[in-house]
Chains A and B, each alone.
Chain A
Amino acid sequence: MDQLTSVLEAVAHPSRRAILDRLSKGPARVTEIAEPFDMSLNAVSKHLKILEAAGLVTREVQGREHYIEFRGEPLRLVSTWVDYYERFWTQHLERFEQHFKDKRKRKP
């Protein structure tokens, strides 16, 4: 799975978006993240693993505590993806370039 797909899947779930919203205010322990949600610690951990795999959060282990921190950089991929005209022209330019690559290959 490419990173864009991982990021899109990670932010597609409302609970994971709420977790990211909480973490955007600063790092937190897993128990603190779970507190406002009507979810088991186990369910929160599963969501965190998906966010971690997408590169949207990092985990720092200090003794028995796991501190989770938000990382915003991968969201750039989504930002680019939803920009209509950037997406529009990127797709067209890729096809345009490919058309000439194929044409050059066909030349004897």
Chain B
Amino acid sequence: MSKKITLPKIKTFDLTLTRTIPASPEEVFDGWLDPENPGTPWHGSQKLVLEPKVDSLWHFTHVFDDLVLPHYGRFTTLERGKKIQYTWMSRHTLGLESLVTVNLQKKGDDTLLTLTHANIPDDEYGRAHETGWKGLLEAFEARILQTD
């Protein structure tokens, strides 16, 4: 009889950030996929593979404090001027496929960019707490919530 294997459930969290970018949604779309743009994760990579097509893969490697940090993913949505979505895997996602979604909305001459990074493991790696701060923050978490 085959044994059913249940993987431990990993608690995850989502992160959403917004910015108004002084450019049209089409320019922002193109800029997000341009490794020459200093605001993209692809910029300054030691090794870069980037083929912005649905179901194509991307890869970049950064070196931080002598640590090689490879990142991998797959494009899932590319709608010029509207939406960019890709999966994202790195040592911080613990083998989970996290999901990055960039929504673009015209706002006069500018673009409202909403970035959501979903399915990030909610643990020491995912949040990458610095050693030393973590215990302190945990100790005070209840107190911080009380002072809300």
Instruction: Report the Cα distance A78→B140, complex, angstroms.
Output: 12
B117 contacts which chain A residues (CB < 8 A)? 85, 89
B128 contacts which chain A residues (CB < 8 A)? 82-85
Segment of A31-39, A45-53, A97-105 in the binding face: A97-105
B92 contacts which chain A residues (CB < 8 A)? 84-85
How many residue pairs link A and B with beta carbons under 8 A? The number is 96
A11 contacts which chain B residues (CB < 8 A)? 133, 136
Whether A76 is near chain B, meaning CB under 8 Å from some CB there, is yes
Q: Mark A8-25, 1 if CB is under 8 A from B, else 0.
A: 000100000100110010
CB contacts under 8 Å to A, within B116-136, are 117, 120, 126-130, 133-134, 136
Whether B68 is near chain A, meaning CB under 8 Å from some CB there, is no
Is A73 within 8 A of B144, CB to CB? Answer: yes
With most chain A CB atoms within 10 A of its CB, the pick from B113, B120, B126, B143 is: B143
Whether A71 is near chain B, meaning CB under 8 Å from some CB there, is yes
Q: In this complex, what residue of B is CB-closest to A72?
A: B144
Binding site for A on B (CB under 8 A): 15, 17, 19-23, 27-28, 31-32, 37-41, 92, 113, 115, 117, 120, 126-130, 133-134, 136-137, 139-140, 143-144, 146-147
4 more A-B residue pairs beyond the given contacts A11-B136, A82-B127, with a C-beta to C-beta distance below 8 A: A76-B144, A89-B17, A90-B17, A100-B31
Give me 12 A-to-B residue pairs in the complex whose CB atoms sit less than 8 angstroms apart, sorted by A's number: A21-B139, A24-B140, A82-B127, A85-B15, A85-B120, A85-B127, A95-B38, A96-B21, A96-B31, A96-B39, A97-B22, A100-B22
